Amino acid sequence: MMMEKDSVKARKTILISGAGIAGPVCAYWLHQYGYEVVIAERARTLRDGGQNVDIKGAGQQVIRMMGLVERIEARNTLEQGQKYVDATGKLVAVFPKGAFATLTNDFEILRGDFAQILFEATVEICDYRFGTFVTSLEEKNDSMSVTFNDGSVEDFEFVICAEGIGSATRDMILPSETSFRYLAAYMSFFKISRRPGDDGWAYTVNGVDGTFITLRPGNETETTVLVTFIRKKHDITWENQGEAKGMLHDALKGRGTVADRISAELETVRDFYFGPMSQVRVSRWSSGRFVLLGDAAYCPTAFTGEGTALALVGAYVLAGEIKRSTHYAEAFKAYECLVRPYVQSSQNRMNPLLIRLLHPRSRTAIALTHMVQKILASDCVQRRFRLGAVKRERKIGEDFIFPDYR
């Protein structure tokens, strides 16, 4: 007993870079296993932006094991379903919650609310440092020496990089191992102010030249926005907000009333998430005392609806393997072996053809898309496909068998 206590004490602290979804979940489990954790977050405050995230399949199991289900259910957006409207706001098709092909699931939580719940579950047990990021790393024999943006230098047992798709620290350590599968579209998530007409439904509009817009219920004062649009070239990065907003204004111009409303508020939006719709593919997820987690390692893209589930599963497995292995290299290898096939099957399900179909460009293609939406929403199609959807959901729930780390 004494030896176990001493060996826990002798451990150095672990650094997690990125306080999104994957970082705090991994921190929670590492703390359960007796580790001290520092979380560095580049933003000055917790980023509470985004629309609804899907917590499905194995990801739900992680949430259950963390005892967070009730807190998540209490923040359910209670979205009633999804309506497709045309550029003037006229109704095209209605997909209530539970319908085949609707966006609305049982577990409907805003990404920001989920991030807040994870933060609350870990703030007392980890050392959160906002406005902090890594500027360089140096691997030593028994630690990783990290220099932060304020010039301070600290040694950590190892570094877990959970910085999301545009991770800068990943690009310092594994630049040639990292590639992006660009799906020829850009995406953006943010919130705008809520208007009296915003009810409990999600509204989706297909605009000309391949602009896809969805507004979804947020909170009492805000409505959440997703805008994606086709762009052949992958030419602007995650860093340049001014250029990003300019590009988004162009994608919204002349796309109808919903687009005009968004454009009018764009300059004042709070947490702007914008970038190329790309999958992240890294040929190996670790190097020495450095390991990647979540979107930084294996972003599947938002249209799969699986980025959060992969982050949850990856975080749980990485922490568990760190707990049960005698050496970090063994832990990182086991984590990658277990999680990579799960990631690959998710990434491979995303077909660029689907992106093109969701973003019709000409008025004729949009009219055809409206016809398909009406057919899909019709009673006879719904009756036929709903049963199949239930079966598929069940399969997703059985998609990853967890090792037992307890």
Positions in the binding site for ligand FAD (CB under 6 A): 17-23, 40-43, 47, 49-51, 53, 111, 133, 162-164, 167-169, 189, 271, 273, 294-295, 299, 302, 307-308, 311
Q: Which of 89, 106, 90 is nearest to 98 (CA)?
A: 106
List the structure tokens of 375.
């057919």
Tell me which residue of 215, 223, 208, 216 sits closest to 253, measured CA to CA.
208
**397, 398, 277: which is closest to 347 by C-alpha?**
277
Give 197: exposed, middle or buried? Use CB within 10 Å, 0-12, 13-18, 19+: exposed
Nearer residue to ligand FAD within complex by CB, 223 or 382: 223
Whole-angstrom distance, CA of residue 72 vs CA of residue 79: 14
**Closer to ligand FAD by Cβ: residue 92 or 320:** 320
CB nearer to ligand FAD: pick between 51 and 60? 51
Tokens 């009673």 -> residue: 379
Burial of 322 (0-12, 13-18, 19+ CB in 10 A): buried
CB of 53 or CB of 92, closer to ligand FAD: 53
CB of 169 to ligand FAD, least distance (A): 5
Cβ–Cβ under 8 Å, residues 313 and 58: yes
* Least distance from ligand FAD to the Cβ atom of residue 312, Å: 8
Q: Tell me the residue nearest to ligand FAD as measured from the CB.
A: 20
Closest approach of ligand FAD to the CB of residue 379, in Å:
30
Angle (deg, nearest 10), helices 22-32 and 307-324: 30
CB of 372 to ligand FAD, least distance (A): 24
Distance (Å, whole) CA 165 – CA 60: 22
Closer to ligand FAD by CB, 306 or 366: give it: 306
In the numeric block, which tokens belong to residue 262?
Answer: 């968004």
CB of 163 to ligand FAD, least distance (A): 4
Q: Which is nearer to ligand FAD, 87 or 146 (CB)?
A: 146
Q: How far is the CB of 221 from ligand FAD (least distance, A)?
A: 18
Q: Which is nearer to ligand FAD, 149 or 378 (CB)?
A: 149
Q: How far is the CB of 174 from ligand FAD (least distance, A)?
A: 14
